[in-house]
Amino acid sequence: MSSDPAPKDFGVTFRSAGGRTVRCRADQFVLEAGEDAGIPLSYGCREGACGTCKLKLLSGQVHMEHNGGIRQREIDAGYVLLCCSTPLSDLLIE
């Protein structure tokens, strides 16, 4: 048995994709995990500036480092930018 812990991952469920759940590593952007699994997702800059990948997080928590593509009030209302968000828990996305 290896003593290295496997990198932690979380389940991310996309309601828009019929409720499919994909795995997302704790160090992986949610957009990438969704793309790898073939979930149809829009994006633009992948730098957190354009807001094209903005979706509502219905439950769970993320760590997000954006570049102005989302307003604090939108964050307060539950929106996230998938391109620059890593999961801190299992997620349910609109």
Partner 1 sequence: MTEPIDIATLVAARQAGYSLPAPFYTDSDIFRHDLELIFGRHWIYVGAEPEIPDAGDFITVDVGSASVLMARDDEGRIRAFHNVCRHRGARLQQAGRGVLGNIVCPYHQWTYNLNGELIHCKHMGADFDRSGFGLRPVHVENLAGLLFICMAAEPAPGFDALRTAMEPYLQPHDIPNTKVAHQSDLIEMGNWKLTMENNRECYHCVGSHPELLVSLLEYGFGYAPSPQNTKQIQGFNELLAREHGRWEGYGLPSREIDRLEDVTGFRAVRLPIARSGESQTPDTKVASSRPLGAYTHADLGGLSFWTQPNSWHHVMSDHVVTFSVRPLAPGRTLLRTTWLVHKDAQQGVDYDLERLTSVWIATNKQDGALIERAQQGIASLAYQPGPYSPFTEGLVEKFCDWYIGRLGAGLKDKR
Q: Bridge-partner residues for 57, per DSSP? A: 93
Stretch that binds partner 1, among 17-25, 40-48, 55-63, 84-92 (CB under 8 A): 40-48
In this chain, which of 12, 33, 51, 83 binds partner 1, going by CB under 8 A?
51
Phi-psi region of 31 (alpha: psi -120 to 50; beta: other; left: phi over 0): alpha
Q: By CB under 8 A, is residue 35 in contact with partner 1?
A: no
Dist CA 2 CA 60 (whole Å): 30
Which residues within the stretch 54-73 sit at the binding site for partner 1 (CB under 8 A)? 66, 68-71, 73
Inter-residue contact 62 to 12 (CB < 8 Å): no
Dist CA 88 CA 28 (whole Å): 11
Q: By CB under 8 A, is residue 52 in contact with partner 1?
A: yes
CB of 41 to partner 1, least distance (A): 14
Q: By CB under 8 A, is residue 74 in contact with partner 1?
A: yes
Paired tokens of 74: 């939108």
Site residues (vs partner 1, CB under 8 A): 44-45, 47, 49-52, 66, 68-71, 73-74
